């Protein structure tokens, strides 16, 4: 399970932030900023996708677009019809993507449709061949194949059902005092199966990015954002309904009656509400000073003083984390608050938290009835009716756990050095162009400019695939043929992951190893090793084809590459130096000027109304990604200056199509509240209207909807 650590907060993810599936991203695979459950997402029996489209279209007719500004939110599925269009001078995004937006239909299991999903489908089709091709030999093919087969073994999973969870439930039921609770939290059973009120793991050390550190993260809240416990949004209400459904179902499966279940869920949410008072909100985590606040080096003695009651120190000692010389506590105020809540008075809430979060994390991992129930609940949350196939979900889970193994087989079958070299060259050309761009930035002092250019000189390009891989020798899967089960495979993976973590304590990071899944449909910048990551899971007709014109390559993948490089200089990445260390390399007056420009961008986005309730957008939430979009665009335009007869119309159209997307209202509302990426129609329109080449190409003048006066433009770089 991914932790919302500094490493994740600072990763500049590019694309899949926009409601692609029920998990996030960041992922993850990026989308809807919170997972629909701690492991995976699903849905009930498939329905006709045409019926879903009709439903969305009817719902869209009830939306009052007149309050939206500066353009209608054409990403909402059903809004765009034959009668709804615009001149490209007034709404470029809508005009270029009109037919796509009008005709878009959801793929099974997704709350949004956009062209980049073609890349995901291509990778999935190829990987499913790998997972089902029994002629393949070797550990890299066999281990994922065995896990994939166990996932789909419904007879075996149904036979076992919830039985593996019963000893955990019974042992937790014996807890009567706070001392009992402490013993249980520290037990091997809870470590193997259960949940803690804190998260401890291994991450890159912020002050010295060549070293690993132990990182202590906050309580995993059912509603994700602590702000939801103060004033619940519509998305929070939907998420609460989802969680209540998941927890209630699983509590019923292990023997609790309706009254017991209702009380337990209430006790859990009451405790989470108290804990939430001490945790940063999502908006606070997107502020420019967030990382400074979350870098708090600690010793074990410091932690003992801050948490004398909650057994964090005992847990770290028992599980090997106390041996680390480097420890970072993300939110000290949270730990002190959690310790104050670890009392006999809150015992029922603590027990309820551990039980509900543990059981909820296994709802898709026991038998088919639980799996289908979770599908239905997740789809209701996302506003969709059709689910991904079981094979697709088995692939997703297998890829999440054994991506390196599958990737090595994939490279041999589908990739070559020629592709890698072309992508690497385009990345280097973009980095060199940024170097030139910095020479033209008048508001930077020479001292800060040289630091920025030094960062560009040392940027690492991760293009397509690595030459070296992390050690996975501790992982293994007992096949169905040898008596293995899916549930046991999950437990074995959890133990092996911890074993690998312990090998990194006090260790030095090997920069030749990419800590990424190269087949993920995404691209990103990592400030902690100053790298851009452009991987094959991202390639499709909308992003990259070898036969694309140079204008299309610049407008699509080129903009993505430029976007990622620019994260080195957004309000977050600018706080890390050329070696990936959190260090202030700016002169104070330069950084003040930079933040002043960012504030202008924030104010612009604060004036946007994307939904018909009239609620303003939140510029602070999207500032880093918006800055990156514009800087990447500028980089490609500067590269275009060197090409004779460059066709700017092709360039702008390719970029607009890159962002084509239509999604359910609930998915888009969730994105607007929780995601650092602007809605796609804004990513296209707001970015394009910053640059003279756009105005010159289409003859845009004052009075047109795409016009912004030069003095009001908000591009930071």
Name the pairing type of β-strands 199-204 and 662-663: unpaired
H helix intervals, 477-558: 486-504, 550-553
Question: pLDDT band for position 38 (50/70/90)?
Answer: very low
pLDDT score of 61: 64
92's CB contacts (< 8 A; 6+ apart) are 652, 656, 684, 685, 688, 689, 694, 698, 706
Name residue 523's beta-bridge partners.
Answer: 534
pTM for the model stands at 0.85
Query: pLDDT tens for residues 555-570?
Result: 999 999 999 999 998 7
Handedness of CA 381, 354, 152, 253 (dihedral sign): negative
The residue with greater pLDDT, 280 or 23, is: 280
CB-based contact 636:559 (threshold 8 Å): yes
Name the pairing type of β-strands 327-329 and 460-463: unpaired
pLDDT score of 546: 80
Cα–Cα distance between 411 and 416 in angstroms, integer?
A: 7
Percentage of the residues of the chain whose pLDDT score is greater than 90? 83
The DSSP string of 634-665 is: HHHHHHHTTSTT--HHHHHHHHHHHT--EE-H
Q: For 204, which DSSP code?
A: E
H helix intervals, 61-103: 92-103
**pLDDT (mean) for 398-420:** 93
Cα–Cα distance between 134 and 479 in angstroms, integer?
A: 14
The residue with greater pLDDT, 195 or 12, is: 195
CB-based contact 437:584 (threshold 8 Å): no
Number of Cβ atoms within 10 Å of the Cβ of 494: 14
Q: Which long-range contacts (CB under 8 A, 24 or more apart) does 22-30 make?
A: 22/109, 22/111, 22/378, 22/381, 22/382, 25/522, 26/2, 26/522, 27/2, 27/520, 27/522, 28/2, 28/520, 28/522, 29/120, 29/520, 29/521, 29/522, 30/522
Cα–Cα distance between 479 and 489 in angstroms, integer?
A: 9
CB-based contact 415:463 (threshold 8 Å): no
CB-based contact 556:538 (threshold 8 Å): no
Number of Cβ atoms within 10 Å of the Cβ of 99: 12
**pLDDT (mean) for 86-104:** 98
pLDDT at position 269 over 80? yes
Question: pLDDT band for position 60 (50/70/90)?
Answer: low
pLDDT at position 272 over 80? yes
Angle at 693 between CA 684 and CA 638, to 5 degrees: 90
Best CA proximity match to 368, nearest among 45, 33, 662: 45
Secondary element (H or E) of residue 12: strand 12-13
The mean of the pLDDT values for the chain is 90
Q: 109-119 burial, b if ≥16 CB within 10 A, otherwise e?
A: bbbbbbbbbeb
Question: pLDDT band for position 59 (50/70/90)?
Answer: low
Percentage of the residues of the chain whose pLDDT score is greater than 70? 91
Name residue 102's beta-bridge partners.
Answer: none
pLDDT at position 138 over 60? yes
Domains of the chain with CATH codes? 12-112+416-463+511-717 (3.40.390.10), 163-365 (1.10.1380.10)
């Amino acid at each position: 399970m991914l932790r919302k650590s500094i490493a994740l907060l600072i990763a500049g993810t590019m694309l899949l932030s926009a409601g692609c599936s029920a998990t996030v991203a960041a992922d993850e695979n990026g989308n809807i900023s919170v997972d629909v459950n701690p492991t995976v997402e699903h849905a009930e029996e498939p329905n006709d996708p045409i019926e879903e489209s009709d439903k969305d279209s009817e719902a869209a007719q009830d939306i009052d677009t007149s309050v939206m500004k500066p353009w209608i939110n054409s990403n909402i599925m059903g809004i765009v019809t034959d009668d709804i269009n615009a001149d490209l001078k007034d709404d470029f995004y809508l005009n270029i993507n009109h037919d796509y937006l009008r005709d878009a239909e959801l793929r099974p299991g997704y709350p949004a449709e956009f062209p980049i999903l073609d890349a995901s489908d291509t990778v999935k089709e190829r990987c499913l061949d790998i997972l089902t091709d029994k002629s393949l030999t070797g550990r890299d093919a066999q281990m994922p194949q065995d896990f994939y087969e166990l996932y789909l073994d419904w007879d075996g999973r149904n036979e076992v059902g919830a039985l593996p969870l019963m000893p955990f439930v019974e042992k937790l039921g014996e807890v009567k005092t706070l001392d009992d609770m402490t013993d249980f939290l520290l037990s091997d059973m809870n470590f193997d199966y259960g949940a803690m009120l804190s998260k401890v793991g291994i991450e890159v050390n912020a002050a010295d990015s060549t070293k690993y550190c132990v990182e202590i993260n906050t309580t995993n809240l059912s509603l994700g954002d602590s702000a939801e416990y103060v004033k619940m949004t519509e998305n929070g209400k939907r998420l609460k309904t989802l969680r209540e459904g998941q927890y209630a179902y699983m509590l019923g499966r292990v023997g609790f009656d309706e009254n017991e279940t209702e009380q337990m869920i209430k006790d859990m949410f009451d405790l989470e509400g108290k804990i939430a008072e001490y945790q940063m909100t999502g908006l606070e985590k997107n502020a420019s000073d967030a990382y400074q606040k979350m870098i708090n080096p600690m010793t074990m003695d410091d932690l003992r003083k801050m948490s004398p009651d909650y057994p964090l120190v005992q847990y770290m000692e028992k599980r090997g984390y106390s041996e680390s010389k480097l420890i970072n506590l993300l939110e000290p105020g949270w730990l002190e608050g959690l310790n104050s809540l670890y009392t006999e008075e809150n015992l029922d809430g603590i027990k309820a938290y551990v039980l509900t979060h543990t059981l909820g994390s296994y709802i898709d991992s026991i038998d088919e009835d639980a799996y289908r129930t979770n599908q239905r609940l997740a789809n209701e949350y996302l506003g969709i009716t059709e689910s991904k196939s079981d094979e697709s979900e088995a692939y997703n889970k297998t890829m999440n756990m054994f991506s390196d193994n599958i990737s090595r087989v994939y490279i041999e079958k589908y990739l070559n050095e020629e592709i890698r070299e072309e992508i690497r060259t385009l990345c280097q050309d973009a980095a060199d162009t940024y170097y030139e761009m910095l020479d033209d930035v008048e508001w930077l002092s020479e001292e800060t400019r040289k630091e920025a250019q030094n960062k560009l000189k040392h940027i690492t390009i991760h293009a397509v695939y690595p030459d070296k891989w992390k050690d996975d020798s501790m992982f293994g899967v007992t096949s169905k043929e040898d008596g293995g089960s899916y549930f046991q495979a999950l437990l074995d993976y959890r133990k092996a992951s911890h074993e690998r973590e312990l090998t990194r304590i006090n260790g030095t990071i090997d920069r030749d190893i990419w800590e990424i899944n190269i087949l993920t449909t995404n691209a990103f910048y990592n400030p902690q090793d100053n790298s851009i990551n452009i991987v094959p899971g991202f390639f499709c007709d909308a992003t990259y084809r070898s036969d694309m014109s140079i204008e299309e390559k610049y407008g699509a993948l080129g903009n993505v590459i430029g976007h990622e490089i620019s994260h080195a200089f957004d309000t977050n990445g600018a706080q890390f130096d050329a070696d990936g260390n959190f260090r202030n390399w700016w002169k104070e007056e330069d950084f003040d000027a930079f933040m002043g420009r960012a504030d202008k961008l924030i104010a612009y986005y604060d004036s946007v109304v994307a939904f018909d309730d009239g609620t303003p957008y939140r510029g602070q939430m999207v500032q880093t990604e918006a800055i990156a979009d514009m800087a990447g665009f500028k980089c490609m335009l500067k590269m275009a200056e060197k090409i004779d007869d460059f066709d700017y119309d092709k360039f702008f159209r390719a970029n607009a199509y890159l962002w084509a997307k239509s999604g359910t209202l609930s998915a888009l509302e969730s994105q607007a509240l929780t995601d650092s990426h602007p809605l796609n129609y804004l990513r296209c329109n707001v970015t394009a209207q910053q640059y003279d080449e756009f105005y010159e190409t289409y003859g845009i003048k004052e009075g047109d909807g795409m016009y912004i006066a030069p003095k009001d433009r908000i591009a930071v770089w």
